[in-house]
Amino acid sequence: MRVVVAPNAFKGSLTAVQAAQAMARGVLRARPQARVELVPIADGGDGTVDALVAAAGGRRASLRVRGPLGDPVEADYGLIDSGSTAVIEMARAAGLALTPASRRDPRVTTTYGVGELMQHAWEAGSRRFVVGIGGSATNDGGAGMAQALGYHLLDDRGLELSPGGAALERLARIHVGGVHADWKKAQVDVACDVTNPLTGPEGASAVYGPQKGATAEMVAQLDRALHRLAEVIARDLRLEVEQVPGAGAAGGLGAGLVAFAGGRLRRGAEMVMEVLRLDDRLRGADLVLTGEGRLDRQTARFGKGPAEVARRARAAGIPVMAIAGAVADEDDLHRLFDRITSLSGETVSVEAAIAGATDLLADAAARLLRD
């Protein structure tokens, strides 16, 4: 019997790698002769580097970059496919977790460190980039990233703009002469599961600015600034990005990656499964196990990792079972999974399930295999 174990992270308790290991222990307890392949997954958010490096046998690179507030931070990224593919989580260089609550100000936070990671990976030989853009502290439209890549964002006196989204109100032109790499030769895939445009009432500033510290006045200022960035991109780079679905993700970094690095905005889970070559790994399997911390109707609606695993398993004619920390809307989920079980319930609280997730996950996997 060949079993593919492909869980997402169980947030608050286990990484995807740890969850896969626990599931595998349960499978082998129930079926000692089974051949188990571990394929920890992610959907483009937190944990994507860990999952892809582990599943693809990759490695990590680390460097000191400019953090969201300009202070140096140590950030790492993944290298897979013999280094030809770089896996980058923008939050490791420009994330909200790197900004103390008392210092959060999206008028000045910058994505410069994200550009430093991308440039470092390019110089190391990577030509495909998988970029997860969740958890940002920024609202600069990817301007800082662009400056790190060598673009010059100039005011009407020809001076370089200072960091942060607010400075973009003064943007007069974009000079491309200093760009260090030919991004037309790269494939930049951006994990983006939201459809917000760059500006307007559903844009980056209005929807996400307040959680990064923006007041109503700041939101209005930042929206004007991103509109100005889009105008200059349209004129100088001949790209219309303002209303592209997903352009407003990560404070407009979605738009910046499209404009300055030729990025493609894609559903995170679908993109990750493609990079993992999941369809190839499923070939010849008798069973697939997946799961994550919570399964509910949003799992299918927003195409989360376990839903994408289930879709591909079903297309290959392979039974697929899911384990979750907690389950809701089970009737909706049975359209995706042949069997579902939960670590919490009448006898186990959610808190106890989180604390004992490793053993409970192994027990649940063994139980499914025996049944």
What CATH number does residue 331 fall under? 3.40.50.10350
CA gap 21, 8 in Å, rounded: 12
In a shared domain, residues 112 and 235: yes
Question: What pLDDT shows up at residue 34?
Answer: 96
Out of 268, 292, 322, a domain closes at 268
In a shared domain, residues 256 and 137: yes
> CB under 8 Å to 216, separation ≥6 — which residues?
none
In a shared domain, residues 295 and 192: no
Q: Which residue has the tokens 């571990």?
A: 38
In a shared domain, residues 64 and 170: yes
Burial of 157 (0-12, 13-18, 19+ CB in 10 A): exposed
CA gap 73, 306 in Å, rounded: 32
**Could you write out the DSSP letters of every residue in 154-214?**
E-TTSPBPPSSSGGGGG--EEE-TT--S-GGGSEEEEE------SSSTTSHHHHHTGGGT-
In a shared domain, residues 59 and 188: yes
In a shared domain, residues 161 and 200: yes
In a shared domain, residues 162 and 64: yes
The ranges of the chain with pLDDT < 70 are: 346
pLDDT digits (tens, 9 = 90+) for 83-118: 999 999 999 999 999 999 999 999 999 999 999 999
In a shared domain, residues 312 and 334: yes
Query: Cβ(248)–Cβ(255) under 8 Å?
Result: yes
Phi, psi of 88 (to 5 degrees): -125, 130
Q: What is the CATH number of the domain that holds 144?
A: 3.90.1510.10
Q: Residue 28's domain spans which residues?
A: 2-41+276-370
Out of 268, 295, 312, a domain closes at 268
Total domains in the chain come to 2
In a shared domain, residues 183 and 139: yes
Percent of the chain that is helix, strand, coil (3-state, to 5): 40, 20, 40
Number of neighbours of residue 55 by Cβ within 10 angstroms: 25
Phi, psi of 229 (to 5 degrees): -60, -45
What torsion do the CA atoms of 8, 11, 14, 20 make, to the nearest 10 degrees?
-10
CA 165 to mean position of chain CA atoms: 22
In a shared domain, residues 60 and 29: no
In a shared domain, residues 71 and 32: no
Question: What pLDDT shows up at residue 104?
Answer: 95
In a shared domain, residues 169 and 246: yes
pLDDT digits (tens, 9 = 90+) for 251-274: 999 999 999 999 999 999 999 999
Out of 210, 236, 268, a domain closes at 268
